[in-house]
Amino acid sequence: MAWDFETEPAFQAELDWMEAFVREEVEPLEYVLGSPWNIHDPRFAQLVRPLQRRVRERRLWACHLGPELGGAGYGQVKLGLMNEILGRALFAPIVFGAHAPDSGNCEILAAYGTPFQQERFLAPLLANEVVSCFAMTEPQGGADPKVFTTQAVREGEGWVISGQKWFASNARYADFFIVMAITDPAASTYQGMSMFVVPANTPGIRIIRNVGVADDPEATHAYLEFDGVHVGAEYMLGAPGEAFAIAQVRLGGGRVHHAMRVIGQAQKALDALCERALSRTTQGSLLSDKQMVQEKIADAWIQLEQFRLLVMRTAWRIDKFHDYQKVRKDIAAVKATMPKVLHDIASSALQVHGSIGVSTEMPFVGLIVRAYQMGLADGPTEVHKVTVARQLLREYEACAELFPAYHRPTAAAAAAEKFRMVPE
Ligand SMILES: Cc1cc2nc3c(=O)[nH]c(=O)nc-3n(C[C@H](O)[C@H](O)[C@H](O)COP(=O)(O)OP(=O)(O)OC[C@H]3O[C@@H](n4cnc5c(N)ncnc54)[C@H](O)[C@@H]3O)c2cc1C
């Protein structure tokens, strides 16, 4: 009997330390600094680097990675509990060496990188001496890789990359890009694309413009052009035609980590909702005494607990199987649920705060936009729902009979036959 919802005391002590550290030291950073990926800002060295050193001393740096890469090798369940805390503060992931897209890029460089690639790209990325960018989506579409046109053509021993990429997050701060390009136009999308690690200063790369999201202080999602960009053969990551498989490995873990952090963000909105309900009086009573406000609070808590259980069970299944294919349905379900949970809870918090709730003085509009981002980045919700449905349908077979076994008269006839009785 192994169903257990408890945390070991020793690990709980680490979580308690993290909780206080993030609240007291990390949360205030977002009010004085710009983008967490702007590691070359002199204030980053002054304010963030000392906190990163404390995290390393505590052995909590890059815990998603194994000890051979300087991480703690924690499984996904432990990471889930940690990421809930990291989700509460914009700078927490970078302070703990667990920030996207570098966390996923580290994982694929560790799994598929050659010794040259690991020394040149992975080592500084692990140490957060540089940040990186993952460039897959194209302006003509992201949800369907069949519309991608960026190509890498063989030239001598190397490759020449040409095409455009869209919404490549943090390209403006990145030291290198991991780029997906067609290398075999005759093959299918899933076998004809390869991955390249391209230094950002390679001639021919241009940021056409940086695109902003809602009221983000900086525009950080690049519209990128690759105009005859030459790279040597040693810059291909993995084997030719392996890009899609590599991307799936990267996105599988990343989606769950986003969901874990969303729990922290939604919890923050729920905390604000409850505090406000207990603090504000209207028409002679506290908001917390109004049944329609109580309903919002109850719905928010129930929705968050359901989601948290789904995320933690998915984390547990990843640890158990060590095979993302076996957990595809669970990960897709988590990915499809997370935008709605964040959207609904942040909307209730906004509504109960009244006018100040909708204002720029409160975080709720930002959280609602964040919910939409969560429903797009790493693939739109609709696509993940399709995955859930398809995976689920594989567990069923069509009924060859006119009336299925669960049809009541058919079931009654079968029961009568089994117990040798005449049906009523
Ligand atoms: C904040 C953020 C950060 C991102 N960072 C990166 C990054 O670093 N690197 C990168 O490569 N990409 C990045 N992306 C891009 C992201 O992967 C794409 O936005 C996503 O894959 C959707 O592609 P699209 O925007 O072109 O929308 P489209 O592919 O045009 O889809 C638009 C809409 O069509 C509908 N739709 C699509 N497919 C289906 C379907 N099968 N069934 C029903 N409806 C469907 C959905 O409503 C979908 O939202 C980021 C996106 C966001 C929002």
Residue pLDDT, tens place only, 111-148: 999 999 999 999 999 999 999 999 999 999 998 999 99
Both 214 and 257 in one domain: the answer is: no
Q: Per the domain annotation, does 214 fall within a domain?
A: yes
Mean pLDDT for all residues in the chain: 95
Both 184 and 105 in one domain: the answer is: no
Residue with tokens 């409850």: 274
Q: Say which residues have a Cβ less than 8 Å from residue 292's Cβ, sequence separation at least 6.
A: none
Whichever domain contains 24, its CATH number is 1.10.540.10
pTM: 0.95
Rg, the chain, Cα only: 24
* Per-residue pLDDT, 68: 84
Both 380 and 275 in one domain: the answer is: yes
Comparing CA positions, the residue from 145, 148, 230, 166 lying closest to residue 196 is 230
Both 154 and 182 in one domain: the answer is: yes
Segment 62-70 mean pLDDT? 86
Element (H, E) at 211: strand 205-211
Both 253 and 333 in one domain: the answer is: yes
Angle at CA of residue 257, ends 251 and 260, nearest 5°: 145
Comparing CA positions, the residue from 272, 323, 303, 338 lying closest to residue 80 is 338
* Cβ neighbours of 326 (radius 10 Å): 12
Q: Per the domain annotation, does 64 fall within a domain?
A: yes
pLDDT of 161-218, one tens digit each?
Answer: 999 999 999 999 999 999 999 999 999 988 999 999 999 999 999 999 999 998 788 9
Both 138 and 199 in one domain: the answer is: yes
- Among 137, 140, 164, which residue has the most ligand 1 atoms within 8 Å of its CB, making it the best to mutate? 137
Which residue type does 238 have?
A: G
Contact 260, 140 (CB under 8 A): no
For residue 146, give its domain range: 132-237
pLDDT of 379-388, one tens digit each?
Answer: 999 999 999 9
**Long-range contacts formed by 306-314: CB under 8 A, 24+ apart:** 307/259, 307/263, 307/266, 307/334, 307/337, 307/338, 307/341, 308/84, 308/263, 310/334, 310/337, 311/80, 311/256, 311/259, 311/260, 311/263, 312/77, 312/80, 314/76, 314/256, 314/259
Both 280 and 220 in one domain: the answer is: no
* Cβ neighbours of 182 (radius 10 Å): 22
Domain count within the chain: 3
Q: Per the domain annotation, does 182 fall within a domain?
A: yes
Angle at CA of residue 100, ends 96 and 101, nearest 5°: 135
What is the token pair recorded at 221?
């999602």
Whichever domain contains 359, its CATH number is 1.20.140.10
Whichever domain contains 160, its CATH number is 2.40.110.10
What is the token pair recorded at 64?
């998603």
Q: For residues 227 and 164, what is the distance between their CA atoms, to the nearest angstrom?
A: 8
Both 272 and 388 in one domain: the answer is: yes
Both 255 and 361 in one domain: the answer is: yes
| End-of-domain residue from the set 192, 211, 237 | 237
Q: Per the domain annotation, does 94 fall within a domain?
A: yes
pLDDT band at 1 (very low <50, low <70, confident <90, very high): confident
Q: For residues 352 and 56, what is the distance between their CA atoms, to the nearest angstrom?
A: 40
| End-of-domain residue from the set 204, 237, 270 | 237
What residue's CA is closest to ligand 1, atom 49?
380
Q: For residues 165 and 319, what is the distance between their CA atoms, to the nearest angstrom?
A: 34
| End-of-domain residue from the set 218, 237, 256 | 237
Both 167 and 92 in one domain: the answer is: no
* Per-residue pLDDT, 315: 95
Both 142 and 215 in one domain: the answer is: yes
- 16-20, 250-254, 301-305, range with the lowest pLDDT: 250-254
Ligand 1 neighbour 136 (Cβ under 6 A): yes
Q: Tell me how far apart the 2 most distant CA atoms of the chain are, in Å.
A: 86
Q: For residues 171 and 328, what is the distance between their CA atoms, to the nearest angstrom?
A: 29
Ligand 1 neighbour 134 (Cβ under 6 A): yes
What is the token pair recorded at 378?
């790493």
Q: Per the domain annotation, does 121 fall within a domain?
A: no
- Among 167, 258, 368, 383, which residue has the most ligand 1 atoms within 8 Å of its CB, making it the best to mutate? 167
Q: Per the domain annotation, does 119 fall within a domain?
A: no
- Among 216, 376, 378, which residue has the most ligand 1 atoms within 8 Å of its CB, making it the best to mutate? 376
Ligand 1 neighbour 127 (Cβ under 6 A): no
What is the token pair recorded at 117?
């690639």
- HSE-up of 381 (CA within 13 Å, CB side)? 13
pLDDT of 320-347, one tens digit each?
Answer: 998 888 999 999 999 999 999 999 999 9
Q: Per the domain annotation, does 16 fall within a domain?
A: yes
* Per-residue pLDDT, 422: 65
Both 145 and 177 in one domain: the answer is: yes
Q: 141 CA distance to ligand 1 centroid (A)?
A: 7
Q: Per the domain annotation, does 274 fall within a domain?
A: yes
pLDDT of 276-303, one tens digit each?
Answer: 999 999 999 999 999 999 999 999 999 9
Q: Say which residues have a Cβ less than 8 Å from residue 1's Cβ, sequence separation at least 6.
A: none
From the CA of 139, give the closest atom in ligand 1.
Answer: 26
Contact 127, 49 (CB under 8 A): no
Ligand 1 neighbour 179 (Cβ under 6 A): no
Contact 64, 79 (CB under 8 A): yes
